[in-house]
Chain A
Amino acid sequence: MGMLTRLRVRLASKLLPLLRAEIWRIGQVGLELPTVYLDRVAIATIAAPVVSDDLCVAHPELHQFTAVLAAPKREDLDAHFCEVLAYPEILEIDIRLGRPMCDGKAYREDAEGGKAALRAGQPERNCRHGIRESWCAICRRQEEERKRAAATVIDLFDLVFPILQPPLGDDFDNPIAFLPSQQLYGFQREGVKFLVENDRALLADEMGLGKSIQTIVALRILFRTGKVRNCLVVCPKSVLTDWERKFWDWAPELNRLVRVSGPAGHREVLWKTEAYVYLVTYETLREDLSCTVRKGDNAEDVARRQFDAVVLDEIQKIKNPSAQITQAARTIDAKIRWGLSGTPMENRTDELVSVFDVLKPGLLHYGDPVYKIKNEIKRYMRRRRKKEALPDLPEKVYHEVWLELSASQRAAYERAKEEGVVELNKKGDALTVTHVLQLINKLKQICNLDPREEESCKLEYLKDELDKMSEQEEKAIVFSQYPEKTLARIESDLRDFGPMRYHGQLSQNERDRVVQDFRNDGSKKVLLMSVQAGGTGLTLVEANNVFHYDLWWNPAVAVQAEDRTHRIGQRKTVFVNYLRTVDTIEERIRNLLAAKRQLFDEVIDELSDTDLRTSLSEEELYALLDLKHPNRKGKGVDRNKEPAAFFDSMSPTEFERLAADLYEAMGYHVRLTSASKDGGIDLYAKRVTDTGQTLLAVQCKHYPARKVGVQTARELYGVMQTQPDITQGVIVTSGQFSTECRDFSKGKRIELVDSSRFAGLCMKHGVAAGKRQKTETDDRNRS
């Protein structure tokens, strides 16, 4: 008995790691022993399990008997163990991998016609103007406006769009990167590489060697490598449109291009529009940075000043260090700065110092000796002369220059077009191709020169080019089909260049004298020539610059003209410049002819001597002026009626409604005023674009039998003074305007729309009377 009382029963020899907590309960002890009782319960405690880095449960560190309990009652054991045992905390570890967000963009531009379709050689549809979609200037302009309206922000995926483009090729020879007609000469490829490799550079090639094209291709590379996200191009006004056009041709993926021009309010919006490229003139830049330039002005600068790259075309314009345009150029902050100029230094080395003060501040100093200047600028400047580039250059270099009509030219052009179309439509079935060609001729003449104001965008460009050429001691010939209406009228403006005119009215002796003087007299820099009088035998190799002032129907005529200079005896490359105006009949014809010519080149000789007027169908000719073929019935205004007669049958209210319909068709939101009139205004027409808001205040004067007098214009002007948000006043009449009314309205933002013009606009936009009745009530309620 004494021995049993001291018996110890060992229940376990060791504890093993358990996957889960377990409670062992001692059940009945099968011992036939008298009076067995629990003496003590010792609970082994172990450390809580720890999840190690390799997801294994570590062996507990402690293994000790720490708790000795008094003998509990059997039925309390479970509860007792629950209280004292430390359960490990179970961690919840989420091991799922979540799906990431996807971002991105579909780029549609190239896929939907445009240059890409031309490059792919895919057949392209005709637009509603009867011209291939990619060639139609009106469709393109509308598309650009639509894109610009949608593109107020460049997002991340727009930013990488240039980077995602295919490579240009090691030698810029990737056929899909450039159009087939676009080839870079060897010296140009070298020029592009020079620009790409130099953040600060002056490209000083002689004029005509393609500085702007080299710059655009270099920019294309920088955009594609992500080094540049935006760029400012500053240039003279005469080449603004040409730059825009060249970007379109040579870098189509840089399709967010903003031309900063127009009224100050518009420019402020344009500077804030996100774009790859900003185009601006020196004068506009100076104005929009006027605060910084003038110093002390409390107004804020309108222009932005921070860009990744800035290009200054004709950089010699900032040769004067104290000029405001120079100061404005200096404020631009860009890590890449390129200057372009055929004549970076005209008179003194200080001019070069001023130029480099913008390109590379601190490189040169005023008063530096010539040898030092030469040495310092060597690595930043590249200059090739035509004779050096000659091995690469062909005998003839063609250059198409695109210009924007001046304001007065545009007004004259639109007026002539609308009135002309009305007249043509009146002819009905008697309309012939000859009538159409007559109007086309008239419009082409206006593209050359506004007959009333004598303004000409082509003349401005020509003067700039002649200026550069005369510094290089070169001569030019200017060809036009209109010796009296164009050449005679521009002659006096070119007097600084000793112009001579060669035309059919001259006697043979006079013609010979003109030719001799032009050949031998160095002060005679330009010859104005009518091709009809030029003859086929004339040799004028003294000139190596040719300007085609207007568009030829027959390509062979242009070639014949150029061949006055391009023949035996010519030692220089001949540079042929075609002067064109955007958004005019010239652009439409040119595009149509280019499309036709492309077809000819595939089938017939390149020098096919075919007058393409005969190869254009009647429908195509009519489509140039948005005319319907006489056999087709049109909608809207009855063409057979005189415009005034058409309006005769209308009541004043119907006339107002027609005007409202017209402005709605032109994209305006229109509000007719109440019957009691709103200061004499019959309707307000509002249009919001990315450049701002346009609000027109329109007075409708249904006066088929009399003229609208000056009093009406005065009243309208008075209302405009009290409502500064009115952008322009318009007076629409079913009759005509008095001379006093026209004179008063000039320069006062008042547009006069007479019966012919109104009828023409209605026809153009397919607006007919009687459409508006059901909306009139709503509009009147809103007014």
Chain B
Amino acid sequence: MHEKHEHRNKMVGFLHLLLTEAKDGFLSALLVTDIRGIPQEFRCTRPVKPTAIQQKLYGDKLKPYIAVNLCGVPLVESLENSPAAILVREKLLLGVRPFVEFPVIYVEKSGEAIEIQSVGLSNGGLRLKIESPGGRFQPVSCETHPDFHEDGETISDVLKEISENLDPLEPFGRILSAVKVIGQKDDRFV
């Protein structure tokens, strides 16, 4: 599996979970870029708007269920390109990992993490810190799914390569802007 990723055309996915504008639901979008950040593919779900009863009944399970089962996994499955890894900004999206073949890695700015330990095994997955060569971008901390520690070794080179050209957190901002424009043009995405 690791070799398969190494030989894959180097692309990276950025999976983001977003609140609708009216804050009554969630939608998800997935941007795949090459390692320089140039977009190769963009996929987006329509919003999922749970009713009051559904919110009560699902309780705490609602958001993870929507994020992973309803949005995340189908988005990844709909890709035409095969990224070397998928980066996420919400830890609950790591839940996508058991259902897909690509490494799914949580990223955050170093310093956002509240855990004392910044690298190594935590209660969850394997944590890594990735420095941008030349300090061009702020370092990021990454975490794998608890059951897939090997993902960290697999994609650490890819992440380092990304960081030469691209702030790994920046594409999430583009996703937000793009979804906003899409919502302005098509009511079905509001």
Q: Decide if B170 touches A156 in the complex (CB within 8 Å).
A: no
Tell me, yes or no, whether A104 is within 8 Å of chain B by CB: yes
Tell me, yes or no, whether B46 is within 8 Å of chain A by CB: yes
CB 8 Å contact bits of B69-86 with A (1 = contact, 0 = none): 111001100101100000
Give the interface size bracket for B toward A. Answer: 35 or more
Docked complex: A485-512 residues within 8 A CB-CB of B: none
Q: Decide if A106 touches B74 in the complex (CB within 8 Å).
A: no
Tell me, yes or no, whether B19 is within 8 Å of chain A by CB: no
Q: Decide if A160 touches B50 in the complex (CB within 8 Å).
A: no
Given A167-B170, A176-B36: A160 and B42 interface contact (C-beta under 8 Å):
yes
Q: Decide if B185 touches A163 in the complex (CB within 8 Å).
A: no
Tell me, yes or no, whether B119 is within 8 Å of chain A by CB: no
Given A97-B54, A97-B66, A105-B42: A160 and B48 interface contact (C-beta under 8 Å):
no
CB 8 Å contact bits of B146-177 with A (1 = contact, 0 = none): 00000000000000000001100011001101
Tell me, yes or no, whether B27 is within 8 Å of chain A by CB: yes
Docked complex: B42-95 residues within 8 A CB-CB of A: 42-48, 50, 52-54, 56-58, 62, 65-66, 69-71, 74-75, 78, 80-81
Tell me, yes or no, whether B181 is within 8 Å of chain A by CB: yes
Once bound together, how far apart are the Cα atoms of A103 and B30, in whole Å? 10
Tell me, yes or no, whether B139 is within 8 Å of chain A by CB: no
Tell me, yes or no, whether A116 is within 8 Å of chain B by CB: yes
Q: Decide if B53 touches A165 in the complex (CB within 8 Å).
A: no
Contacts of A101 in B (CB 8 A): 45-46
Contacts of A164 in B (CB 8 A): 31, 39, 42, 174-175, 178
Tell me, yes or no, whether A55 is within 8 Å of chain B by CB: yes
Contacts of A95 in B (CB 8 A): 53-54, 57-58
Q: Decide if B44 touches A102 in the complex (CB within 8 Å).
A: yes
Docked complex: A46-61 residues within 8 A CB-CB of B: 53-55
Tell me, yes or no, whether B34 is within 8 Å of chain A by CB: yes
Once bound together, how far apart are the Cα atoms of A167 and B39, in whole Å? 12
CB 8 Å contact bits of A268-285 with B (1 = contact, 0 = none): 000000000000000000
Least distance between B89 CB and chain A CB atoms (Å): 17
Q: Decide if A120 touches B170 in the complex (CB within 8 Å).
A: no
Q: Decide if B54 touches A100 in the complex (CB within 8 Å).
A: no
CB 8 Å contact bits of A721-752 with B (1 = contact, 0 = none): 00000000000000000000000000000000
Q: Decide if B54 touches A176 in the complex (CB within 8 Å).
A: no
Tell me, yes or no, whether B3 is within 8 Å of chain A by CB: no
Q: Which residue of A lies closest to B75 (CB)?
A: A102
CB 8 Å contact bits of A359-388 with B (1 = contact, 0 = none): 000000000000000000000000000000
Contacts of A100 in B (CB 8 A): 27, 45-48, 70-71, 74
Q: Which residue of A lies closest to B66 (CB)?
A: A97
Tell me, yes or no, whether A427 is within 8 Å of chain B by CB: no
Once bound together, how far apart are the Cα atoms of A164 and B177, in whole Å? 8
Tell me, yes or no, whether A111 is within 8 Å of chain B by CB: yes
Contacts of A156 in B (CB 8 A): 182, 185-186
Q: Decide if B185 touches A159 in the complex (CB within 8 Å).
A: yes
Contacts of B177 in A (CB 8 A): 163, 225-226
Contacts of B6 in A (CB 8 A): none
Q: Which residue of B lies closest to A120 (CB)?
A: B36
Once bound together, how far apart are the Cα atoms of A116 and B35, in whole Å? 12
Tell me, yes or no, whether B2 is within 8 Å of chain A by CB: no
Q: Which residue of B lies closest to A93 (CB)?
A: B53
Once bound together, how far apart are the Cα atoms of A540 and B50, in whole Å? 78
Contacts of A111 in B (CB 8 A): 34, 40
CB 8 Å contact bits of A167-205 with B (1 = contact, 0 = none): 100000001100000000000000000000000000000
Contacts of A176 in B (CB 8 A): 36-38, 165-166
Once bound together, how far apart are the Cα atoms of A55 and B58, in whole Å? 13
Q: Decide if A161 touches B48 in the complex (CB within 8 Å).
A: no
Tell me, yes or no, whether A81 is within 8 Å of chain B by CB: no
Q: Which residue of A lies closest to B47 (CB)?
A: A100
Contacts of A116 in B (CB 8 A): 34, 36, 38
Tell me, yes or no, whether A537 is within 8 Å of chain B by CB: no
Contacts of B43 in A (CB 8 A): 102-105
Q: Which 7 A-B pairs have the closest CB atoms?
A: A104-B43, A166-B37, A160-B178, A164-B39, A100-B46, A226-B181, A176-B36
Residues on B close to A: CB < 8 A?
27, 30-31, 33-34, 36-48, 50, 52-54, 56-58, 62, 65-66, 69-71, 74-75, 78, 80-81, 165-166, 170-171, 174-175, 177-178, 180-182, 185-186
Can you name 8 extra interface pairs (CB under 8 A) apart from A54-B56, A95-B54? A95-B58, A104-B41, A104-B78, A105-B42, A116-B34, A163-B174, A166-B33, A226-B180
Residues on A close to B: CB < 8 A?
53-55, 93, 95, 97-108, 110-111, 116, 119-120, 156-157, 159-161, 163-167, 175-176, 225-226
